[in-house]
Amino acid sequence: MRLIIINGPNLNLLGKREPNVYGNEGFESYLEKLRGAYPALDIACFQSNSEGAIIDKLHEVGFSVDGVILNAGAYTHTSIAIADAIAAITSPVVEVHISNVHAREPFRHHSYLSKNCKGVLVGFGLDGYRLAIESFVHA
């Protein structure tokens, strides 16, 4: 099974960025553990701070991988273009947010992406990425 994790803006700073909200672990070390826990899976990873690069990656992989795990960061709350890209591709997308966006500022409560996603995982910390993998493995 081929999966890809796509992380959006500022998620390259995990471990350093607002640790009270996003925790102390960097994504690289978390990803290493995740790959170790699922040796049979091919788990690619892509991060970009740019909306267009995220859309380009969705176009590139979204007709071939078995699942996309997408944390679009703040673009979640602003990007009709990423929502359209999710609708355009055939691979199922699971939306993940590390923090519980519904317990935060009102502008984080709305996602343009959720309606085009298979499901949404919110507020489970980095474990949300593992739970998204589980959702594909047990689909």
**Given the rule CB under 6 A, which residues bind ligand DQA?**
10, 71, 73-74, 76, 97-99, 101, 108
CB of 95 to ligand DQA, least distance (A): 9
- From the list 22, 75, 112, 129, the catalytic residue is 22
- In angstroms, the CA 128 to CA 96 distance is 6
- Of the pair 42, 134, the CB lying nearest ligand DQA is at 134
- Of the pair 57, 97, the CB lying nearest ligand DQA is at 97
Whether 22 is a known active-site residue: answer yes
- CA–CA distances in Å: residue 139 to residues 28, 66, 101, 135: 26, 11, 25, 6
- Of the pair 1, 135, the CB lying nearest ligand DQA is at 135
Tell me the residue length of the chain. 139
- From the list 75, 97, 112, 129, the catalytic residue is 97
CB of 39 to ligand DQA, least distance (A): 26
Residue 32 neighbours by CB distance under 10 Å: 11
Whether 110 is a known active-site residue: answer no
- In angstroms, the CA 51 to CA 55 distance is 6
Sign of CA dihedral 42, 82, 24, 109: negative
Task: Tell me the catalytic residues.
Answer: 22, 97
